[in-house]
Every structure is written in structure tokens, then in C-alpha cells.
Amino acid sequence: MKKILVVTYSQSGQLNEIVDNVVKTFNSDVQIVIEHLQPDPLFPFPWTNISFWDAMPDAVSLIPHKLKPFAFNPDEDFDLIMLGFPVWFLSPAIPMTSFLKSPEAAKVMKNKPVVTVIGARNMWVNAQEDIKKMIANNGGRLVGNIALRDKANNLSSVVTIIYWMMTAKKEKLWGIFPKPGISDEDIAAAARFGKPISESLTTGEFTELQQNLQSLGSIDLIPNVVFMELRGKKFFYKWAKFIRKKGEHGNPNRVGRLKMFKWYLLIAIFVASPIAILLFYLFLPLTWWNFRNKLAYFKGVDLNDELI
């Protein structure tokens, strides 16, 4: 019997629902061990205002936090590892980083194929690059990636995701904005990715898995969003370093700089990003060849390549 370890982190439950739909279509002879990561202490949901922004420096800097003890046995031999995670500030959610930097992850992932499942607003490529490096550091081999996103336009989804994170209400704001998060239809349709993963698991051949997943629409990239994200992470690194000079996570001395970052980010999104998108499309004919290669890289048939 084939065995798969599924490790997920989800505050709202959306990511767990996506992963559940993927694995429910696996063959009946596949044993599934599910590990839902639990930070200690838990991150709040809904977030409080400052706690939301206070997660940024550690998420961006890939600083692990304490997790509650794992239920799975890291000495057990699994045929596949599946990682399901949301994206925080263009980075993996802190609990997933914490898992991947644990000795248990290094032990269980060594020489194992790994599939990642991402639930994001619309920016996830930087987070996946971080995850790829941590998988490689643990001796694992990334063989597949599924990235689902909120399909509302960029500015609308900023408003709705903040509303959802601060209220825990996944509903239409004022009856005007779209429902936040990944649509119910896309969450249910994630079940289509189970078959190619299950087939690769049965045969032990993962070489063409990403290509098979991509043929089902596992990755949908928006060129101008990728352009903004690749530049945005550099500023996030600088802000994370600036904030952490005032102390570690939870230190009240950081509050002033966290508020500065909050307003910087909101202004960047609602004022600077429309201008950046306009410039992107104006200059795209001059940079299209190089940028097309980047898009192909992120869709990645060979997921263990490195971006040049």
C-alpha cells in the first residue's frame, strides 16, 4: 500500500478544504496521513489589526515559530509528501516555514517526492521559491505544484481579503465587492488534480506529473501581477529588517514601525501599483522575451530549476 503524508496549515479552513478535495479522489489503496500544523501559541483568526502586520517580518525573513508536537511519525517511510499552505506577505505562512525547518521535516522528506498546494490571493511565486529551497535543503524533490488564487481583480481582492482576515466573514462586502478568497467552484474543482497525482503515486514515476497537472490548469499566472510581485519582495525584505531592529515578534516596540509599513503597503497597492501596471504594459514589447521565460519558469515542468 502506498503512503502519503499531507502537511497543511490553514487559518480559515480554505486551504484544508482544497487539499481534502485533491486527496479524496486518490485510489482506495493509498494510505493518507494528515498533519494539520498548529502554532504554539495559535495565530488569531480573525486577526487583530497589529497582529496581522506583526506577522510580516518573520514570514518574509523565514523565521520559524514553535509548533505543537506533530502527530505523524517522522521515521515512517512515505511514498509522497504533500504540502498545503497559504501565502503571507509574498512568503510562506510562518507555520509551514516552521515545519520545513524542523528536524522532523528533514528526516521524513529526505529523498522523497513532494507536491505543493497553494491557496493565495494572487501573488504566490516568491513564496513558492522559498518553499522550493527549503524542500531542497531537506533533501526532498519537488515534483508538482498546484496554485489556486482569488480571481477578482487586484485592487478589489485587497479590500476583500483584509475584510475577511479581520472579520472571519467570507461574504460579499456591502453587497458590492466579490466574495473574498478562492471561489467555491474552484475549491470543488481542485478534485481534478487528484487523478494524475494518484497515478504517479501508483507507478512511482513523477517525471511528467507537473506537465499533467498544468494541462488541467494547476497554475494560472497574471503577467502584470508577477511583474509587481518580483519587485515587491525586495521592499518587503528591507521593511522586515527595519522592523526587526525594534525587537522580535510580539514586541510592542515594533508597533510604530508596523504602522508605518501598513500605510506604505496600502499606498503602494492603491496608488503606485496602477502606475506600475501601466508602465509594465508600455514597456512589455521590449522585455517580452525575457519575461515570457520567467512565466514559463514559474509554471515549471522541471520544478527544481532555479530562476536566473
Average pLDDT of the segment spanning 290-298? 85
Instruction: Write the pLDDT tens digit of every residue in 6-51.
Output: 999 999 999 999 999 999 999 888 999 999 999 999 999 999 889 9
Q: Residue ranges of the domains in the chain?
A: 2-222
Residue range 2-222 in CATH 3.40.50.360:
yes
73 Cβ partners below 8 Å, 6+ apart? none
pTM over 0.95: no
C-alpha radius of gyration, the chain, whole number: 19
Instruction: Write the pLDDT tens digit of every residue in 88-118.
Output: 999 999 999 999 999 999 999 999 999 999 9
Average pLDDT of the segment spanning 170-180? 89
Instruction: Write the pLDDT tens digit of every residue in 235-290.
Output: 999 999 999 999 999 999 999 999 999 999 999 999 988 888 888 888 888 888 88
Question: Which residues are bridge partners to 7 per DSSP?
Answer: 35, 83
**Pair 144, 123: CB distance under 8 Å:** no
Instruction: Write the pLDDT tens digit of every residue in 188-240.
Output: 999 999 999 999 999 999 999 999 999 999 998 988 899 889 888 899 999 99
pLDDT score of 308: 41
pLDDT at 154 over 90: no
Q: How many residues does the chain have?
A: 308
10 Cβ partners below 8 Å, 6+ apart? 16, 17, 36, 84, 86, 119
Helix H segments across 138-272?
154-167, 184-189, 194-203, 209-215, 223-244, 255-267
Instruction: Write the pLDDT tens digit of every residue in 58-84.
Output: 999 999 999 999 999 999 999 999 999
pLDDT score of 89: 96
Instruction: Write the pLDDT tens digit of every residue in 155-169.
Output: 899 999 999 999 999
User: Which three cell numbers mark 24?
Assistant: 479524496
